[in-house]
Amino acid sequence: MNRRVVINGKEISNPVAILALQAGALIVAALVIAFVFFVILPLVGLFIGSIFIAVITFLVVIAVAVIIGIFSSVISAYLSELFGGNRH
Rounded to an integer, what distance in angstroms lies between the CA atom of residue 88 and that of residue 81? 11
Q: What is the pLDDT of residue 41?
A: 96
pLDDT digits (tens, 9 = 90+) for 25-78: 999 999 999 999 999 999 999 999 999 999 999 999 999 999 999 999 999 999
Q: What is the pLDDT of residue 46?
A: 96
What are the boundaries of each domain within the chain?
5-83
Contact call for residues 59 and 43 (beta carbons, < 8 A): no
Rounded to an integer, what distance in angstroms lies between the CA atom of residue 36 and that of residue 44? 10
Three-state SS at 11? strand
Task: Give the closest residue to 21 by CA, choosing from 50, 37, 29.
Answer: 29
Q: What is the pLDDT of residue 66?
A: 97
